[in-house]
Amino acid sequence: MVKTAAGNAFSAAEGHNNKSIRYHSLTVLYQKEMADHVTGKRFIIILILVIAMTIASVYGAVTGIGSALKDAAADPKASFDASFMFLKLFSTGGSSIPSYMSLIALIGPFIGLILGFDSINAEKNSGTLNRLVSQPIYRDSIIIGKFLASSTLITVMIFSTGIAVGCAGFLCSGIRPTGEELVRILIYLIFTDIYVCFWLAMAMLFSVFTRQATTSALSSIALWLFFAIFMSLLAGIMANAAYPVNTEYQQAVNGLKNYDLNLNLNRLSPYYLYSEAGSVLMNPATRAINAVSYAQLVGALRGYLPLGQSLLLIWPHLVGLLALTFAAFTISYVGFMRQEIRGN
């Protein structure tokens, strides 16, 4: 298939100047890469994963909201906040099923990893890449085309699952979304898209710098596990080492510093960054993301932040995620461009 793509690019490049050759070859590579993905068996695995996740989270949200409402009706003391109900479809889980938001924070990276872990080294090993670069096309079209095709697929996946959760939730619960809720969900899905694209870029990075596809797959999964699970443990250990809180006195003196360090270390993890931004976006009652002292809470009134203020609270997260994604892609790009391919 790659051979055909290169042939097409070559024939189309005839009689054109360099710039149009570049874009034309990119378009052809992009289309061919998309076709490869969609017709592959891997795509079916991703599809099953996404569908299962959607069904589970809708079921969890509907049962979770239902039981919360029942509890509130039975116990007059229990307060149930009925504002922004539609957002609760995304942020509420059932008794044993996590919410859509926590599911996608955990499983979403998989989509990126599966699409990217062998993008370069598998072709290198099978020799197709060698033939591809021998064609009169720019070499960067190959990696850009692969990244764009995979990220397009990710975007389609993320938006369809998000919209599917919203629609299914609406059908099951009858909760109607307001305009602000729709905008918040849209921004949240864009965030999710960037988050998964970061993992795609990471997987491609590994595939550029490792020879074996299995190595890059295991490395990316290891990184994913580290950020999703071990980073929080490590941050806790480091924070406790720097600011011990073993005695009551230490607790009083170091408590805030310990918490701040812990939080900041956690924020190095894209997983945490994304989860924090998601909770601010999908729960408008969130007013602060840092530690809040009692002094700051004196006189504070229960209320919701306007969308603009919520966004101003999480803009560093967006910038951070984008920067991480660009950094991973740039490194793999530079690495790919400098690699000696013909020698293989």
Binding residue for other proteins (CB under 8 A) from 16, 23, 300, 344?
300
**Is the distance from CB of 202 to CB of 325 less than 8 angstroms?**
no
* Minimum CB–partner distance for residue 133 and other proteins (Å): 9
Closer to other proteins by CB, 182 or 256: give it. Answer: 256
> Does residue 342 bind other proteins (CB under 8 A)?
no
Spatial CB neighbours of 293, under 8 Å, sequence gap ≥ 6: 256
> Does residue 330 bind other proteins (CB under 8 A)?
yes
* Minimum CB–partner distance for residue 301 and other proteins (Å): 4
Of the candidate spans 27-35, 145-153, 256-264, 285-293, the one that interacts with other proteins by CB under 8 A turns out to be 285-293
Closer to other proteins by CB, 10 or 170: give it. Answer: 10
Give the separation between CA 94 and CA 97, rounded to whole angstroms: 5
* Minimum CB–partner distance for residue 190 and other proteins (Å): 12
Q: At 80, list the tokens.
A: 């149930």
Closer to other proteins by CB, 228 or 291: give it. Answer: 291
Position 331, amino acid: I
Closer to other proteins by CB, 43 or 138: give it. Answer: 138
Of the candidate spans 117-125, 174-182, 209-217, 320-328, the one that interacts with other proteins by CB under 8 A turns out to be 320-328
Give pairs for 256-260: CB < 8 Å, separation 24+.
256/291, 256/293, 259/291, 260/290, 260/291
> Does residue 326 bind other proteins (CB under 8 A)?
yes
- The half-sphere exposure of 246 on its side-chain side, counting CA atoms within 13 A, is 5
> Does residue 299 bind other proteins (CB under 8 A)?
yes
> Does residue 256 bind other proteins (CB under 8 A)?
no
Give the separation between CA 22 and CA 20, rounded to whole angstroms: 5
Closer to other proteins by CB, 39 or 296: give it. Answer: 296
Binding residue for other proteins (CB under 8 A) from 176, 301, 342, 343?
301
How far is residue 93 CA from its own chain's centroid? 19
Binding residue for other proteins (CB under 8 A) from 20, 214, 247, 309?
309
Give the separation between CA 159 and CA 190, rounded to whole angstroms: 8
For 106-125, b where at least 16 C-beta lie within 10 A, e where not — what string? bbbbbbbbbbbbbbbbebbe
Spatial CB neighbours of 235, under 8 Å, sequence gap ≥ 6: 261, 262, 263, 265, 266
Question: In Å, how far are 34, 151, 337 from 283, measured between CA atoms?
Answer: 36, 27, 43
Residues numbered 115 to 144 that lie near other proteins (CB under 8 A) are: 138-140, 144
What backbone torsions phi and psi does residue 306 show, to the nearest 5 degrees? -65, 160
> Does residue 74 bind other proteins (CB under 8 A)?
no
Per CB under 8 A, residues contacting other proteins are: 138-140, 144, 287-288, 292-293, 295-305, 308-309, 311-313, 315-316, 318-319, 322-323, 326, 329-330, 333-334, 337-338
